Chains A and B, each alone.
Chain A
């Protein structure tokens, strides 16, 4: 590992959907730059909730409270403008969601369109080619760029969504079970892609698939009932878990 600069820091981050309960409880962790960090844990333990706190998705729903701090390059996200944060923190959702009315071409550029940024034709073409190449989709779609993004297969759609997020050159990419709707081959494609991408961007990925976490991540978090139970090198977490709950989850006794 060349660099150990922290890019993202959770400091006692809490998220609550209702007054009585917290879905994420006092999570503290430091994410290093240009790494892939996997977030694991049984269903309902707050993985998505934690992830969505990072790009201020919770701001959309007035009842949701986020407390504590989340630092992006040392700056507290929670006091920043949502728009500024989201430009620097991209997100890929569980179900591929290319914009159905836009062509593949426009989908890749949608980040610019939605931010009101005008590009010249040459800049557009260059962005498209670069982004689609970096998600290994270029060869498959270069002749059908004007077709709707929804014509692609699920795996291709998901790669298109990754390309769309990458086009904005984010510092951090959040991925919520990005391969759970895909078949093994498409999943393999995306995993290879992520390993490639970590040179450019720090990735935080929620996964239910322990094999996937082992294959791609250098650090892993294990969450349980909203708490961050264990956070360490992926190898250590799998081979030598400290907490009983982590052990139980990894051995399939829970989850």
Chain B
């Protein structure tokens, strides 16, 4: 090969590298910009009371703004509501999702499993507004009122497909030899699933659960139809309740409270980021 050709190729390699770098920067740019914007604007709102006090009334906020003071209060009602609803959704969605995923992985060629699998895909693609409306009809109307329970049902429905899929996929990539080894020792299918296959799949399933949580924690639309919102800290399941993304929407609609948007957004962002980091870390640890 002539030196000219080699030079040419090296040159092309370099060019490719540059193009890839530029494209990468282009796609990372907006991400960093969002993070930076939220951090800059939300940073000075973060204080202890921001996490322990409920939302101020518009009047109080207006007074504070007039006096040139920091807006009092915080987003504690939203955090408590989010946690309660997430907690209930997790309690239902995790066992149900794992069971369903297990079924799909074990009976992948049965007709019923194929239908379920298709429905799971459909559910995953369903816009969250629609899930909100459905939950409104199914839960809010019969129960004659908005409630934390209704909100958690909506979140649960949104989490299910993610958990089902991650369980199914992870179980499917576990070597069949493990299952056979378990059965060869005389175990029945259920015990082998419980003691051998599911533990081996734990990393993947747990990652799926964390991703499902980070997917729904910022959902606003389905909660508007179900949890509605509430201006004080509340722990009851059968009453309307607040949530952090609902608060962001409320803050946006109230000129006096707009300052608070950024603190709340920063909280959500950091929460999701932490979950993702944990998920990554676990996935890595599990693969070793």
List A residues at the B interface (Cβ < 8 Å): 55, 57, 60, 82-84, 86-87, 90-91, 93, 95, 97, 99-102, 110-111, 113-116, 161, 164-165, 168
CB distance from B68 to the nearest CB of A (A): 60
Within 8 A of A (CB), among B11-65: none
Within 8 A of A (CB), among B120-145: none
The answer to whether residues A86 and B180 also contact, given A101-B202, A114-B192 and a CB cut-off of 8 A, is no
The total of Cβ contacts below 8 Å across the A-B interface reads 74
C-alpha gap A164/B187 in the complex (Å): 13
C-alpha gap A91/B185 in the complex (Å): 8
Contact B180 A114 (CB under 8 A): no
3 cross-chain pairs, A with B, having the tightest CB-CB distances, nearest first: A114-B187, A87-B186, A101-B199
C-alpha gap A111/B192 in the complex (Å): 10
The answer to whether residues A99 and B182 also contact, given A93-B177, A110-B195, A116-B191 and a CB cut-off of 8 A, is yes
C-alpha gap A102/B187 in the complex (Å): 16
Query: Using Cβ atoms and an 8 Å threshold, which residues of chain A touch B199?
Result: 99, 101-102
List B residues at the A interface (Cβ < 8 Å): 175, 177-178, 180-188, 191-192, 195-196, 199-200, 202
Q: Which of A57, A100, A113 contacts B178 (CB 8 A)?
A: A100
C-alpha gap A13/B202 in the complex (Å): 40
Contact B184 A55 (CB under 8 A): yes
Q: Which of B186, B196, B202 contacts A99 (CB 8 A)?
A: B196
Contact B191 A114 (CB under 8 A): yes
Interchain Cβ contacts under 8 Å between A and B, 29 examples: A55-B184, A57-B184, A83-B186, A84-B186, A86-B183, A90-B184, A90-B185, A93-B181, A93-B184, A97-B175, A97-B177, A97-B181, A99-B181, A99-B195, A99-B196, A101-B196, A101-B199, A102-B199, A110-B185, A110-B195, A111-B187, A114-B182, A114-B185, A114-B187, A115-B187, A116-B191, A164-B185, A165-B184, A165-B185
CB distance from A158 to the nearest CB of B (A): 12
Contact A114 B186 (CB under 8 A): yes
By beta carbon, the residue of chain A nearest B178 is A97
Contact A168 B200 (CB under 8 A): no
The answer to whether residues A99 and B178 also contact, given A114-B195, A114-B196, A116-B191 and a CB cut-off of 8 A, is yes
Query: Using Cβ atoms and an 8 Å threshold, which residues of chain B touch A165?
Result: 184-185
Query: Using Cβ atoms and an 8 Å threshold, which residues of chain A touch B195?
Result: 99, 110, 113-114
C-alpha gap A93/B184 in the complex (Å): 10
CB distance from A17 to the nearest CB of B (A): 15
C-alpha gap A90/B178 in the complex (Å): 15
Contact A168 B191 (CB under 8 A): no
Q: Which of B177, B182, B188 contacts A110 (CB 8 A)?
A: B182
C-alpha gap A168/B191 in the complex (Å): 16
Contact A93 B180 (CB under 8 A): yes
Query: Using Cβ atoms and an 8 Å threshold, which residues of chain B touch A101?
Result: 196, 199-200, 202
C-alpha gap A70/B202 in the complex (Å): 39
Query: Using Cβ atoms and an 8 Å threshold, which residues of chain B touch A116?
Result: 191
Contact B181 A161 (CB under 8 A): yes
Most buried by B among A91, A97, A115: A97
Query: Using Cβ atoms and an 8 Å threshold, which residues of chain B touch A82?
Result: 183
The answer to whether residues A86 and B186 also contact, given A99-B196, A101-B199, A113-B195 and a CB cut-off of 8 A, is yes
Query: Using Cβ atoms and an 8 Å threshold, which residues of chain A touch B182?
Result: 99, 110, 114
CB distance from B94 to the nearest CB of A (A): 19
By beta carbon, the residue of chain B nearest A174 is B184
C-alpha gap A111/B144 in the complex (Å): 53
Query: Using Cβ atoms and an 8 Å threshold, which residues of chain A touch B200?
Result: 99-101
C-alpha gap A212/B186 in the complex (Å): 29
By beta carbon, the residue of chain A nearest B180 is A57
By beta carbon, the residue of chain A nearest B187 is A114
Can you name 17 extra interface pairs (CB under 8 A) apart from A100-B178, A102-B199?
A: A57-B180, A60-B180, A83-B186, A84-B186, A86-B184, A95-B177, A99-B196, A111-B186, A113-B187, A114-B191, A114-B192, A114-B196, A115-B185, A115-B187, A161-B181, A164-B185, A168-B186
C-alpha gap A114/B175 in the complex (Å): 18
Query: Using Cβ atoms and an 8 Å threshold, which residues of chain B touch A87?
Result: 185-186
Query: Using Cβ atoms and an 8 Å threshold, which residues of chain B touch A57?
Result: 180, 183-184
Query: Using Cβ atoms and an 8 Å threshold, which residues of chain A touch B191?
Result: 113-116
Contact B188 A83 (CB under 8 A): yes
Query: Using Cβ atoms and an 8 Å threshold, which residues of chain A touch B196?
Result: 99, 101, 110, 114
Contact B181 A86 (CB under 8 A): no
C-alpha gap A136/B191 in the complex (Å): 29
